[in-house]
Each structure stands twice: as C-alpha cells, then as structure tokens.
Amino acid sequence: MTTTEKQCLGQPLFCLRDLSVLQPSNQDMEPRMLQLLLGLHVLALPVQLCEIPRGNSALIKCLNMELLRLSQDLSEELNPSVYVALRLSADHSLEKEAQYLQRLKNVFQPSASSSVAGGQQKQPNTGRLALYLLGLRAACQDMETLLGRQLVTRLKYQLHKEKEQIAFKGNGRPITSYYQYSLGVLALCVHGKKIDTHVIQKLLNAEKHNKFTHGGKLSVDTKAMAGLAFACLKQANLYEPRLVAAISLAVQRVTDRILQAQTTKGTFGNIFSSPLAVQLLIATGMSKKPECPKGMDALLGSLEQGHFQNPMIMSQLLPVLDGKSYLDITTMECRAERDTLELDTKCPESRTVILGPEIITVQLAVVHPPSPETLYNHSIQVSSGSFLQDVLRTAAEQGPGQFTFETQNTLHGPLLTAVMGVKASNGERRYWQLLQAPDTSLQKGISDYQPQDRESIILKFNPW
C-alpha cells in the first residue's frame, strides 16, 4: 500500500473527492480503486468501542459526586486514589479538590515544625506513596522543588528495597506485593523519571514466571497494574531497545491474559478487579476488542445496582467511565477544566432491594490448618443489612475471650489481620481468608460484605 493510500484510509472523506491521486498507471487503476473502496467499506462498518452507552451520564456524575463527598468527609481515611480519580474526571469542583490535596500534603509532606510537634511519623508504604505521586502529577505540581525531589527519591529507595527483598530475602516476593511494586513503577514513569533497569527487570521476571497470583489463582488487578506500568515504560523512550522489546512482549502477554480472564458475565476475574482491567485495555489501545464493551456493560450494570461501595474500587472505576486510564495523567495540563461539579446533585437510587427478616442468623467458623479442629463455630444474630465486620463485633461481644479479632486500616478498607490471637508473623505469607461455606472465596472485605440469613462464613488462615 502506498503512502497516499494510508493517508486516505485515515481520511476517507477527503480522498473520495479526488480518487485520481491513487492512479499510478492505467493498468492497475481499477484494482487499486476497488481495494480502496473495500477498505473504506470496512471502515464504514459500525465498530463497537469501549465507550459509555448514552443515558448513563447522570449515573457517572453521581459516582463522581460520591467521591467528591468522600473527599470532604473528615471521618474518612485520606486516600490519594480518590484524588487521582477526581482529577481525571471530566467535571470538577476545583476548590474542594484543592482542599483535599492540601490535606494529603499535610500527611505525606508534613512540615518540619509539625513533625517535631507530633513526633516521628510513619512512612507510607510503596503503594500509598505511589498513589500520592500520581495525584501530584494529576494536579500538575512542580516536582523539581526540594520536597518534590525528596518524594521521588523516597519512592525510588522503597522500590530498591522491594527489589532487594525479591532478589535475596523474599523467595521471589517483594516486601509489600507486586501490585504495590507495579504501582510504584507506574508512578515514577508517569513523572517521566528513569527507573533502575534492575527494578524493571524484576517486574518483567515476575510477569514471565506467573508470580501475579493470590491464593494460587491469577490476581487480575495485580496483572492489570503491572500491565499499566509496562505500557507506560514502553512509551517512555528512556530505555535501550533490548529492554523496550522485552517490555513490549510483556504488555502483549498481560493484555492477552486479561482478555482470557473475562467471564461469561463480562467481568475480568470479578467485578472488583474489572475497573483496572478495563483501564489497561483503554491504555493499550484494545478498546475495539469485543471484550472491552462487554466489560464496560458489566461495570455499568453493577454500578447501577449499587455494588460499588468501596472508595478504592470506585476511584479506579471513575476514570474508566470517562474513557481514561492512569496513563492519561502523563499528558494532563490542568487548564480550562470544567468547574461544574456540585454536591447537591440528585442521584438515582440503586436497584438493590434487601428483603428478609429484620434479624438474621449467620454461622461463623474459624479454621486454622493444618489443625483439623475448628477453633470457633457459633451462630451470630445481627440486624438485616449488617456487614461482616458487624458480625465479628457481635461475636466478640457475646462471649468475652471466646472470639477475638484485629484489623488494620488500608486504602481498601479494614483488613482482617488476627483471629483468636493468630496472625501472620514477619515474613510469613499467610492471611485470614474469608469464605462462604464450604469453599467460595468472598470478593469483598469485612466492611463491604453483607451476609444473608442462615449463611455460613468461614475464616481460614491460608497461605497466599
């Protein structure tokens, strides 16, 4: 195909005005013209893209408004992912976004005086720091200041420590997780910073050797986050050809695996890992694949039914509904933004209706393999609509000392870390898995999952 033909396929209406430009000779004029017209016919066929169907703008705006409301709720834990979502949105409340950014800065970049007054502050982990840096880039903050350079250096150092753990101490695993490791690489890449090739190589090796798993199964959100990091690195134009080639292959493998993970319902893995999966498809130009609009339909259906209540997942979903991914942060200019978002917007109620008795009974059991004994097994009565965390609290109150549990706050909500005094020791890769009897893993955390009447829940201490 000639250069002119390629241009015509990109601008068919322009070329139809003068097809004579495609006639190098009388002998091959007709075949070439036929080829072009066939090409134009293909282009004219309707292509289903990963776009939002009409009629959902109010639903999307309400998700945007809910995240804005969370940013103003002082009782909610500060979450830079919420800020990133607000910045990637098409509609803004610039004043409230600025207020939230200042609150984030007070935590992630405390002044010397506040540090002295409040004592030594705990450093954020790799994932939190990476999300904060994404937020700063989404706000077009100057990172060439002393504080900006210190933040970049800190994230580079934390990734170095993660890399060392993978290489020498962690049995091929980082200090935190490959999800956070990928997020750290993505954040530095979005800022245009060159990353130690050894750090990149460790992520490439993990992808190649199928390390992105949880409980022996593919972790779709980890895979998608690594894919976003690879896609950014591929576009960075900072690395030698051999490394870029390896990164390109990794992007292809990851996207192929994500597409293969789509269920008959349209989700990728489950509904809560799907927002990041669709972000990856958008970022890698896969929106014309039939899997993408099918996944978008599943997300919109779940949003309409009120399935998204966790701020972290909501903040990963909003960019998707605006047709964006975290890679779009790299080109943000923060100019001429629509300052139109108001908290008084009326939102439709979700279609979810909870029917049943006012008081429900939940069977709660605790299992600690390899011991065959059940550490705890009792019926717990709670109000209908209660969350699993309410069930655990009620169990702890019913018999002092019989049932105990501990949690740790994370950006995804409270994480169950100890039950009956049993918790993972340093370096031990075990966790308390939430199961619906007999062996169905719950897709929500203790603060999001609502047990039904006569449901049996098992807390099982498993490796991951």
Which residues are part of a known binding site for cyanocob(III)alamin?
176-180, 221, 270, 316, 432-434, 442, 464
- Cα separation, 53 vs 296, whole angstroms: 9
Strand partners, 459: 366, 434
Give which of 424, 420, 390 is closest to 406, Cα–Cα.
Answer: 420
And the tokens for 101?
């950014």
And the tokens for 186?
């993505």
And the tokens for 380?
């717990």
Give the dihedral sign, CA 22/28/29/33: negative
215-to-362, 424, 431 alpha-carbon distances in Å: 25, 15, 10
And the tokens for 412?
């995804």
Q: With left for phi above 0 and alpha for psi between -120 and 50, is residue 151 left, alpha or beta?
A: alpha
Residue positions forming the annotated binding site: 176-180, 221, 270, 316, 432-434, 442, 464
And the tokens for 224?
């998608």
Contact between residue 42 and residue 34 where contact means Cβ atoms under 8 Å apart: no
Cα 282–chain centre separation = 13
- Cα separation, 12 vs 208, whole angstroms: 41
- Cα separation, 309 vs 303, whole angstroms: 9
Give which of 457, 396, 402 is closest to 432, Cα–Cα.
Answer: 457
Identify the burial level of 396 via C-beta atoms within 10 angstroms of its C-beta, where 0-12 means exposed, 13-18 middle and 19 or more buried.
middle
Identify the burial level of 124 via C-beta atoms within 10 angstroms of its C-beta, where 0-12 means exposed, 13-18 middle and 19 or more buried.
middle
Give which of 331, 332, 445 is closest to 388, Cα–Cα.
Answer: 445
Residue type, 444: K
And the tokens for 418?
């100890």
Q: Work out the end-to-end distance of the chain between its first and last CA atoms, rounded to an integer number of angstroms.
A: 52
Half-sphere exposure of 436 (CA within 13 A, CB side): 14
And the tokens for 104?
């984030």
